[in-house]
Structure 1
């Protein structure tokens, strides 16, 4: 399903994803071939590049500013007021990592964790609304929270994002699962960004050819058939087909 890039996302809706990478140029080659993305630096701050699908923004790749930072994909949830939401998150047992801070004239961002330590972002839109396309091959389609405490997560995120998750017409693109459903018990709580592909087996072959690896082979989930992979720099993400 194509989305108009000018559309607004309600609070609690996944609205953006970025990858922090040691080598952005290598990331452009990997994701460009895997998903058919094109890239430009127009309006993208801090040396990052925007990934586009048919001209619409679908993600960004950013250079790691500190080698100690993880190589990782981060999902951002929309909010009309990042400062107020960060206060609610910390009051509920989460933690503020950074922000909220202005991102050029595009909006304001913050990085936070839930009480179990899963990292996610907040995005308060100004000039940049978020995904221009989603739910279609080559675009974001889902994010899954893997946590040791799914019931506690349901309470935490339900209180934060009740309308997005449970309101009329809710389209959350967001699920919760026990870590041991897919990952070893020692894996920390985390969000896993999913991109849709038309042919999962063909996409996995491309990942391997480009130097990535299959972290979790294909399995059936309630929201589609999924495989967890890493890119050629170690950032984990999922491929999903429906």
Structure 2
């Protein structure tokens, strides 16, 4: 059976612990024809106004819709959930975490394009998908691709973002290929997804914009305090602080 590549995005009622999926969009590559799935779902959790501001999904758009687990797209995702397939997401932890609330336990190999981009394009001002949409000129190609697949392009819409992600993936694969010559770029992206990222600079707090290596020299005690007291410290930042304290 040919390997399948599932490019996926969700829209949700918010980003809190109790929030749920209200739109699931994904594209399946690996066969002659590309499968496109895009569905809206009802939810017992109200959509926050902050979420509406981002994705534009309002309660009236969800009236009469099934729940996520009762949908055709969710069932198809379950059929695709095999170890030989690949799940491709920008900021995978968030979307996979949301799917887990719906009972989905991922078995696919994960490529997180956000993490891969941070590894191979470390000097970019941002690693958001919409940033790359403009920086890499993806917006010039998206309408032609959308017409071919019958997709309506909208920013911060699940299937619209999946389309952008498909275009971005192709560019990212080229960067990985040229950076890691002789290695399989798909397998390398899986590996990079699982590899800690060294954060060179603080992006928050009193040392925002300062190099970690500088702070390790001038205020190592603060870095040790962060490791001990900040339970929600990002794993990549925790890794990076430990690395600079070792040197």
TM bucket, shorter chain: under 0.3
Q: Which structure carries more strand by proportion?
A: 1
Higher relative contact order (Cα pairs below 8 Å, separated by 6+ residues): 1
Tell me the TM-score normalized by structure 2.
0.26
